[in-house]
């Protein structure tokens, strides 16, 4: 049990460090630049339409506070942290006076839903197929799948999403390509709304899955094809254990450990992909929020989304890390 506690402490320490370094990066980025961010934001925010001079002055005041530009640098630094710990990023400039935290709170469930479902599907599918491909190396269909995975995997999220958008939006328009649900539906637990949400999520999820499956497939295939040459697998084969059982509980079980660690390590990248995909399909999650906030010059919102993303991803990684000992009993002994 002490092994597990030590593991837990180490993971928690890493979690705190990730959040600390991430937030500090955000601080350095926003404070160590030669440009006056307040004037930048104001000129960007007021370039669309008319804004009353009093409103600009009010904006300037709240921005200065938000950036923590008053007082010595140590005071500024502490103000920055206290705002982040309270998740208080002030009112949004582009959707004045809605607070930034409310906007993010509204967008977060969309992103989390898309991200969790597509990541689970991708990971399970990629590992299952990759495991089969590594074990049944002569199977034609699985070989072909390997070729497809190799071709799809290196292409960045944006390009795949764009191609899907073109195919299903212009060439063969059968699926909705924009938004999280149909415009005129009241939100609620009705069948019409739920099916609309599901239908709208197909393309974003599909583009995430198409790219993601490849790396798990290739990783699992090479892990499994190395494990099958191990002595204990040969022994099991000679002992007449049936092949499905060997693959399931002898080979894949052992290969899952590195793949779970891999999931924790690539979560940041998957998150990047999800928010890019959201923007392409106009999905109402934090990705769309972030990009639109940049266009509107909304500093509080950009900073808010950035820090919440860092926090969210590190919580996700921590959760996966805490599940890992269930899979690898060696952690508890060490």
Partner 1 sequence: MLAILRDLLKYNLEFRIGIILVGIVIGLAGLSFFSPYPPTDVYVVAPDVPPSAEYWFGTTSRGQDVFWQLTVAIRNTLLFGLTVAVISRVLSLVIGLLSGYKGGWIDRALMAVNDTFIVIPLFPLLVLFYFVLRDSMSWLLLAVIMAALGWAYDARLIRSVAMSLKTREFTQTAVFSGMTTREILAREHLPYVMPIVFSTTMNNMNWSIGLEVTLSVLGFTDINTPTIGGMIYWANQHTAMVAGVWWWIAFPVAVVIMAFVGLFLLAVSMNEYIDPRSRLSRMGGGAR
| Residue 153 binding partner 1, by CB under 8 A | yes
Q: How far is the CB of 5 from partner 1 (least distance, A)?
A: 18
Integer Cα distance of 62 and 55 in angstroms: 11
- Tokens representing residue 129 in the block: 């197929």
Is omega for the bond preceding 190 within 30 degrees of 0, making it cis? no
Q: Does 124 bind partner 1 (CB under 8 A)?
A: no
Binding mask 277-306 for partner 1 (x = CB under 8 A): --x----------xx--x----x--xx-xx
Q: Compute the distance between CA of residue 317 and CA of residue 265 in angstroms, rounded to an integer.
A: 7
Nearest CB to partner 1, comparing residues 196 and 215: 215
Query: Per rule CB under 8 A, is residue 183 in the interface with partner 1?
Result: no
275 binds partner 1 per the rule CB under 8 A? yes
Give CB contacts under 8 A, 24+ apart, made by 224-230: 224/130, 224/131, 224/133, 224/134, 224/135, 224/251, 224/252, 224/255, 225/134, 225/135, 225/137, 227/134, 227/251, 227/254, 227/255, 228/134, 228/135
How many whole angstroms from its chain centre is CA 325?
Answer: 23
Pick the binder of partner 1 from 179, 268, 282, 325 (CB under 8 A). Answer: 268
Nearest to partner 1 of 13, 194 (CB atom): 13
Nearest-angstrom CA–CA distance, 317 and 319: 5
Task: Kindly state the number of chain residues that form the binding site for partner 1, as judged by CB under 8 A.
Answer: 58
Q: How far is CA 327 from the centre of its chain?
A: 23
According to the binding rule CB under 8 A, does residue 315 interact with partner 1? no
Quick one: which of 9, 21, 55, 192 contacts partner 1 (CB under 8 A)? 21
Answer yes or no: are the C-beta atoms of 60 and 42 closer than 8 Å: yes
Q: Does 117 bind partner 1 (CB under 8 A)?
A: no
Q: Which of 132, 267, 283, 284 binds partner 1 (CB under 8 A)?
A: 267
Q: Specify the residue, 67 or 196, whose C-beta has the smaller distance to partner 1.
A: 67
**Cis peptide before 99, with omega less than 30 degrees from 0?**
no
173 binds partner 1 per the rule CB under 8 A: no
Selected binder of partner 1 within 7, 77, 158, 168 (CB under 8 A): 158
Question: Of the listed pieces 9-17, 48-56, 85-93, 323-331, which binds partner 1 according to CB under 8 A?
Answer: 9-17
Q: Which pair of tokens denotes residue 310?
A: 């860092």
Is 276 a residue that touches partner 1 (CB under 8 A)?
Answer: yes
Q: What is the DSSP track for 84-101? A: HHTT---B-STTTTSBHH
Q: Which residues make up the interface to partner 1 (CB under 8 A)?
A: 13-14, 17-18, 21-22, 25-26, 29-30, 33-35, 37, 40, 137, 150-151, 153-159, 162-163, 166, 169-170, 218, 222, 226, 228-229, 264-265, 267-269, 271-272, 275-276, 279, 290-291, 294, 299, 302-303, 305-306, 309-310, 313-314, 317
């Amino acid at each position: 049990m002490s092994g597990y506690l030590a593991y837990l402490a180490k993971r928690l320490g890493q979690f705190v460090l990730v959040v600390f370094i991430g937030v500090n990066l955000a601080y350095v980025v926003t404070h160590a630049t030669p440009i006056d961010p307040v004037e930048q934001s104001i000129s960007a925010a007021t370039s669309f339409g008319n804004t009353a001079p009093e409103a600009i002055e009010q904006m300037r005041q709240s921005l200065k506070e938000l950036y923590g530009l008053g007082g010595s640098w140590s005071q500024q630094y502490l103000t920055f942290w206290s705002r982040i710990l309270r998740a208080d990023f002030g009112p949004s400039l582009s959707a004045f006076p809605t607070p930034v935290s409310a906007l993010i709170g509204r967008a977060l469930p969309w992103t989390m839903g898309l991200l969790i479902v597509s990541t689970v599907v991708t990971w399970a599918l990629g590992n299952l197929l990759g495991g089969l491909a590594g074990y049944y190396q002569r199977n034609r269909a699985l070989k072909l799948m390997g070729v497809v995975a190799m071709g799809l995997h290196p292409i960045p999220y944006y390009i795949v999403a764009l191609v899907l958008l073109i195919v299903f939006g212009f060439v063969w328009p059968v699926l909705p390509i924009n938004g999280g649900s149909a415009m005129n539906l009241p939100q609620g637990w009705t069948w019409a709304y739920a099916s609309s949400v599901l239908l709208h999520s197909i393309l974003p999820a599909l583009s995430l899955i198409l790219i993601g499956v490849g790396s798990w497939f290739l990783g699992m295939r090479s892990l499994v094809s190395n494990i099958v040459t191990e002595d204990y697998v040969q022994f099991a084969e000679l002992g007449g254990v049936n092949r499905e059982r060997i693959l399931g509980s002898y080979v894949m079980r052992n290969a899952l450990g590195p793949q779970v660690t891999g999931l924790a390590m690539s979560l940041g990248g998957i998150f990047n992909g999800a928010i890019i995909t959201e923007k392409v399909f106009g999905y109402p999650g934090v990705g769309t929020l972030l990009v639109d906030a940049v266009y509107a010059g909304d500093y509080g919102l950009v900073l808010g989304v950035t820090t919440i993303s860092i926090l969210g991803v590190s919580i996700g990684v921590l959760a996966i890390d805490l599940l890992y000992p269930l899979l690898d009993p060696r952690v508890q002994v060490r």
